[in-house]
Amino acid sequence: MKSLKHWESTGKYARIDHHQVFYQDNGQGETLLLLHGFATSSWDWHQVYDQLTKEYRVIALDFLGFGFSDKPRSASYTTHSRINTIQQLLGGLGIKEDH
């Protein structure tokens, strides 16, 4: 099992709307996007992440305000802003389809 420190050190950051968004991106094949719920983070997926990367390209991100992503006070934390973050991250990675 990975440690939280290892999870952070193997992740990446994307600049989205002037903020740093943390994500993991590993594996090959069809893209599987893992989303976390309220008051959690991408770390929720650490126990199954490596297994999933054996069959898929797996992306797990921390939404703004959570995990290792920036936590700006002035940011919009709406569903719409989260969708925007997903669209920008996937677009920046050249991903057009995901599960």
In 3D space, the residue among 3, 5, 1, 12 whose CA is nearest the CA of residue 69 turns out to be 12
Q: pLDDT per residue over 11-67, tens digit each?
A: 999 999 999 999 999 999 999 999 999 999 999 999 999 999 999 999 999 999 999
Could you please state the CATH topology (level 3) that the domain comprising 4-92 is classified under: Rossmann fold (3.40.50)
Residue type, 8: E
Torsion angle of the four alpha carbons 84, 86, 92, 98, in this order, in degrees rounded to the nearest 10:
-130
Contact criterion met (CB below 8 Å) for 97 and 31: yes
Per 3-state DSSP, the chain is made up of helix, strand and coil in percentages (nearest 5) of: 30, 20, 45
- Confidence at 2, pLDDT banded by 50, 70, 90: confident
**What contacts 27, CB < 8 A, 6 or more positions away?**
52, 53, 54, 55, 56, 57, 58
Where along the chain do its domains lie?
A: 4-92
pTM: 0.94
